Chains A and B, each alone.
Chain A
Amino acid sequence: MSCLVIAEHDNATLRASTRNAVSAAAQVGGEIHVLVAGSGCTAVADAAAGIFGISRVLLADAPHYAEQTAENLAALVVAQAPRYSHLLAPATTFGKNLLPRVAALLDVAQISEIVAVVSPTTFVRATYAGSVMATVESADPIKVVSVRTTAFAPAGDGAAAAIETIAASADQGLSRVVSRQLTQSARPELAVAKVVVCGGRGLGSGEVYRQLLEPLADKLGAALGASRAAVDAGYVANDLQVGQTGKIVAPQLYIAVGISGAIQHLAGMKDSQVIVAINKDPEAPIFQVADYGLVADLFEAVPALTKALG
Chain B
Amino acid sequence: MKILVPVKRVVDYNVRVRVKADGSGLDIANAKMSMNPFDEIAVEEAVRLKEAGVASEVIAVSAGITNCQDTLRTALALGADRAIFVDTGEMRGAELQPLAVAKLLQALCMKEQPQIVLCGKQAIDDDANQTGQMLAGLMNWPQATFASKVVVAVDKSHATVTREVDGGTETLEVSLPAVVTADLRLNEPRYATLPNIMKAKKKPLEIVTPEALGVDIAARLTTLKVAEPGKRAAGVRVADVNELVARLKKDGVIA
User: Interface of A with B (CB < 8 Å)?
Assistant: 69-71, 74, 92-94, 96-105, 107-113, 122, 126-140, 172-183, 189, 191, 195, 220, 228, 231-232, 237-239, 241, 244-245, 247, 252-253, 263-264, 270, 273-276, 287, 289-296, 301, 304-305, 308-309
Chief secondary structure at chain A's binding surface: mixed
With A133-B229, A178-B171, A238-B148 as contacts: A127 and B130 at CB distance below 8 Å: no
Identify the 3 closest CB pairs spanning chains A and B, nearest first.
A104-B134, A100-B133, A174-B142
Residues in B114-152 with C-beta less than 8 Å from chain A: 121-122, 124-138, 140-146, 148
With A96-B145, A101-B137, A137-B222 as contacts: A294 and B241 at CB distance below 8 Å: yes
Q: A104-B102, A133-B229, A182-B168 are in contact. List 4 more A-B contacts (CB 8 A).
A: A70-B145, A109-B98, A181-B171, A195-B253
**B17 sits at the interface (CB 8 A):** yes
* CB <8 Å contact, B17 and A132: yes
- B225: chain A residues at CB < 8 Å are 134-135
* CB <8 Å contact, B227 and A104: no
* CB <8 Å contact, B235 and A134: no
A-B contact pairs, 17 of them (CB 8 A): A70-B136, A94-B165, A98-B133, A99-B133, A101-B133, A101-B143, A104-B135, A105-B138, A109-B97, A110-B128, A113-B129, A127-B126, A127-B127, A132-B228, A175-B178, A195-B254, A309-B254
With A136-B223, A253-B254 as contacts: A276 and B127 at CB distance below 8 Å: no
Partner of A108, one of B38, B99, B132, B136: B99
* CB <8 Å contact, A128 and B125: yes
- B228: chain A residues at CB < 8 Å are 131-133
- A94: chain B residues at CB < 8 Å are 165-166
Cα–Cα distance between A241 and B241 once the two chains are bound (Å):
26
**B245 sits at the interface (CB 8 A):** yes
Q: How far is the CB of B21 from chain A (nearest CB, A)?
A: 14
> CB-defined interface of B237-248 with A at 8 Å, one 1/0 digit per residue?
110111011011
* CB <8 Å contact, B168 and A183: yes
Partner of B173, one of A176, A244, A287: A176
Tell which of B13, B172, B178, B236 has the most Cβ of chain A within 10 Å.
Answer: B172
Q: How far is the CB of A180 from chain B (nearest CB, A)?
A: 5
With A93-B146, A101-B134, A181-B168 as contacts: A304 and B241 at CB distance below 8 Å: yes
- Chain B interface: which size bin? 35 or more
Partner of A237, one of B129, B168, B244, B245: B168
* CB <8 Å contact, B226 and A133: yes
Partner of A238, one of B122, B164, B227: B164
* CB <8 Å contact, A137 and B224: yes
Partner of B237, one of A69, A173, A295: A295
**B93 sits at the interface (CB 8 A):** no
Q: For residue A128, which residue of chain B has the nearest CB?
A: B17
* CB <8 Å contact, B134 and A245: no
**B202 sits at the interface (CB 8 A):** no
Partner of B142, one of A175, A290, A309: A175
Q: How far is the CB of A117 from chain B (nearest CB, A)?
A: 14
Cα–Cα distance between A301 and B247 once the two chains are bound (Å):
16
- A136: chain B residues at CB < 8 Å are 221-224
- B125: chain A residues at CB < 8 Å are 127-128
Partner of B223, one of A104, A134, A305: A134
* CB <8 Å contact, B137 and A128: no
With A70-B143, A228-B184 as contacts: A179 and B244 at CB distance below 8 Å: no
Residues in B174-193 with C-beta less than 8 Å from chain A: 174-175, 178, 183-185
With A104-B135, A132-B19, A174-B174 as contacts: A111 and B141 at CB distance below 8 Å: no
Cα–Cα distance between A135 and B11 once the two chains are bound (Å):
20
Cα–Cα distance between A103 and B134 once the two chains are bound (Å):
7
